[in-house]
Structure 1
Amino acid sequence: MIVIGIDAHKRTHTAVVADQNGSQLSTKTTGTASKDHLALLRWGAEQCDDRMWAIEDCRHLSRRLERDLLAAGERVVRVPPKLMANARDGARTYGKSDPIDALAVARAALREPNLPEARLEGMEREIRLLVDHRDDLVAERTRIIGRLRWHLHELDPGWTPPKRLERASAYDKIEVFLSELSGLVSDLATRLVDHLRRLTLEIEELTTEIEELTTEITVRTTVLAPSLLAIPGCGPLTAAKLLGETAGVDRFRSKDAFARHNGTAPLPVWSSNHARHRLSRTGNRRINAAIHIIALTQAHCHPDARALLARRKAGGDGGMEALRILKRRLSDVVYRAMLADRPLMGTATAA
């Protein structure tokens, strides 16, 4: 078997063929259109019948290439960028170029046999795009709220604006306050309030759409993630983030691999005979943040989670260490729930 490593860019893709020993056999650079991918596929078929494509995991650059290869029935694995540095450092050739990077991708795929495989896009990507767009709008609203607060403070330091500036009632109060003032700063503040109203309305519409996608498929009126939504502390938005970022939980070989991917698996930091672990800062931070939200919610209101935290603290663990252990347990719960819901995802995609 050969491995074809690909270094993906916006205008060109560079492919390098490597044998089982990691030796470079051939190289090819092509464009990024579908006709170029077809030529690349023909070239790969000429190299060997038993082949695997390894692509650096940068979805915006490689999504079309992955889709075309998968549609042709090819096997494609995604290589995390963090594996590239070690593969490049271990090479006998120095420097950095597209062929060197593509060879490093192939060698990383040879060294790591259990990399996640790419698949044709389905419902998960639609959910992820909606969640990402909503997060961008929320971040934009937060930035504008900060600017509005400074304008209001400049207009009247003694006037206290509402604490929550994400509601229509707060905008009504501010508009009443601004109606009695004049000048450029007041005019700018009024424009920001109008912008915030539009952003808030769009955020609410997106939230409703995401919740409907997560909880109900209109065509089949089937709950999309019943097991995931049954987890205490996991609401529709959190479930949507988990589904969209995971992109198919069955591509992970085990719950431990999923925990390593989302950063809840602890890192060993042993010293001499003292075995201990610390919080991992690696992995998919958006999945980690979703699990963190579930953990914080359960820490306040779920009896089993509260009992676990109390037991760990009584054993000498600090608050963050106890929370880390809870997140690791919840990662397994989320993994099993998404595995149970996976057949429904396939039904929704087919619909």
Structure 2
Amino acid sequence: MRVITIGIDPHKSSHTAVAVDGAGHKTGQRRFVVNAGTFTQLMRWCEPWPERRFAIEGAGGLGRALAQQLAAAGEDVVDVPSTLSARARLLATGGDRKTDPADALHVAQVALFRQDLRKVTPEDQSTILRLLTERHDDLVNERTRTTNRLHAVLRDLLPGGAPTGLSADKAATLMKGIRPITATDNCRRDIARDLLAHLRRLDQQAKANEAQIRDALAASQTTLTSLPGLGTVLAARILGHIGDIDRFPTEHHFASYVGAAPLDASSGKNIRHRLNTGGNRALNSALHIIAVCQIRNPGRGQDYYLRKIAEGKTPAEARRALKRRLSNVVYRIMKRDRRSHLATAA
């Protein structure tokens, strides 16, 4: 029996599905309004094709909910990046003309001829870690914004302003000595009190969030934190973004994904490489932080960095070389942990 590929172009209010056969020819099309019954309607529509697989554009974005429902139901689902579907549309039309049915068709055709697409799996512990680290980033950013605003208000209330490195306790101590004279200063003091209360709430939320991250990381049984410079939050971020390490065949594929591998830019006899500004920037940032920590403290990372400097590389080039090396180390640790988990489960 032939396998039918069903491409889906997801939107907030509707999902458009197009079914194609093995040759890429359309065999069915339907638009579904997004509501509580969307998944049931889609499954009923797909009943004529028992041998099927689904391709969803942006299965980690607008298509996440539907992709997870399909994966939980045991369906074969792959994630089609929007960049690939856009290229397919350009090749098919010669321009940028697009409709939802056409987009769904191109998504299905990409899945039909590309065998390296990421398979969608049910959400697991890595998803929890990613959610918690994203919440951690939100709290840190909001705390920074609130602290800066409080610092600006205190600057107008205190002679010389508040010192750098302002914390909630330091701000509270400073505010005890404020004696407003004008109505304007009274208003500033009230705003400062509100900002201070908000800062304390953020500190409490961040503390609770970090405790949740520690518990979730312990449940994952990772050994990533054994790597110098890699703390709890960074380890959780790496696990949350990577998910299943087995989807990367080699450490070179992994390095390309995190943007740690240089890009080949050779032409003719001119052999050269250029900096990779793509890849997963959250993971690239994590590698950068680890590299900076290792460069600052004595150890194998610092030794490697200094050796590259002695070879004539600039500090930036030596740091990028260390990031590439750290990418390999992270990959090997995660592969080792994966083998250990499989052995324990067996």
TM (normalized to structure 2)? 0.89
SS of aligned partner of 2:93: coil
Contact 1:79/1:109 (CA < 8 Å) preserved in 2?
A: yes
After TM superposition, the structure 1 stretch with the greater mean CA deviation from structure 2, 127-136 or 56-65, is 56-65
Are 1:275 and 2:271 counterparts? Answer: yes
How many residues align? The count is 339
* Correspondence for 1:290: 286
Q: Could you give the per-residue CA deviations for residues 129-183 of structure 1, whole angstroms, max 9, x where no partner exists?
A: 1111121111111111222222122224x42423212x34323333224356641
Alignment partners' CA distance in 2, 1:19 and 1:305? 52
TM-fit CA distance, 1:297: 1.2
Structure-to-structure mapping, 1:1-351, within 5 angstroms: 1-33=3-35, 35-47=37-49, 49=51, 51-92=52-93, 95-156=97-158, 158-165=159-166, 167-178=167-178, 182-214=185-217, 216-217=218-219, 224-226=221-223, 228-342=224-338
Q: Structure 1 residues 22 and 168 mapped into 2: Cα distance closer, same or farther (>3 Å)?
A: same
Contact 2:85/2:106 (CA < 8 Å) preserved in 1?
A: yes
Alignment partners' CA distance in 1, 2:109 and 2:123? 26
TM-fit CA distance, 1:302: 4.8
Amino acid at match of 2:178: L
Contact 2:180/2:189 (CA < 8 Å) preserved in 1?
A: no
Contact 2:238/2:283 (CA < 8 Å) preserved in 1?
A: yes
Amino acid at match of 2:283: I
Contact 1:37/1:68 (CA < 8 Å) preserved in 2?
A: yes
Alignment partners' CA distance in 2, 1:249 and 1:179? 59
TM-fit CA distance, 1:120: 0.6
Alignment partners' CA distance in 2, 1:66 and 1:43? 16
Q: Structure 1 residues 274 and 322 mapped into 2: Cα distance closer, same or farther (>3 Å)?
A: farther
TM-fit CA distance, 1:86: 1.1
Amino acid at match of 2:152: W
TM-fit CA distance, 1:196: 0.6
Structure 1 gap ranges (5+): 218-222
Q: Structure 1 residues 92 and 311 mapped into 2: Cα distance closer, same or farther (>3 Å)?
A: same
- How big is the alpha-carbon RMSD for the aligned residues of Structure 1 and Structure 2? 2.5
Contact 1:34/1:68 (CA < 8 Å) preserved in 2?
A: no
Alignment partners' CA distance in 2, 1:169 and 1:346? 48
TM-fit CA distance, 1:187: 1.4
Contact 2:151/2:161 (CA < 8 Å) preserved in 1?
A: no
SS of aligned partner of 2:260: coil
After TM superposition, the structure 1 stretch with the greater mean CA deviation from structure 2, 272-281 or 68-77, is 272-281
SS of aligned partner of 2:63: helix
Contact 1:259/1:265 (CA < 8 Å) preserved in 2?
A: yes
Structure 2 gap ranges (5+): none
The percent identity for this pair of structures is 38
Alignment partners' CA distance in 2, 1:31 and 1:224? 41
TM-fit CA distance, 1:206: 0.9
Q: Structure 1 residues 159 and 173 mapped into 2: Cα distance closer, same or farther (>3 Å)?
A: farther
Q: Structure 1 residues 108 and 9 mapped into 2: Cα distance closer, same or farther (>3 Å)?
A: same
Contact 2:263/2:273 (CA < 8 Å) preserved in 1?
A: yes
Alignment partners' CA distance in 1, 2:253 and 2:232? 25
Alignment partners' CA distance in 2, 1:46 and 1:84? 26
TM (normalized to structure 1)? 0.87
Q: Structure 1 residues 153 and 81 mapped into 2: Cα distance closer, same or farther (>3 Å)?
A: same
Q: Could you give the per-residue CA deviations for residues 70-103 of structure 1, whole angstroms, max 9, x where no partner exists?
A: 1222111111222222111111375111111112
Contact 1:232/1:302 (CA < 8 Å) preserved in 2?
A: no
Contact 1:262/1:288 (CA < 8 Å) preserved in 2?
A: yes
TM-fit CA distance, 1:110: 3.1
Q: Could you give the per-residue CA deviations for residues 272-329 of structure 1, whole angstroms, max 9, x where no partner exists?
A: 4232222212121111111111111112225322232233333333222222222122
Amino acid at match of 1:175: M
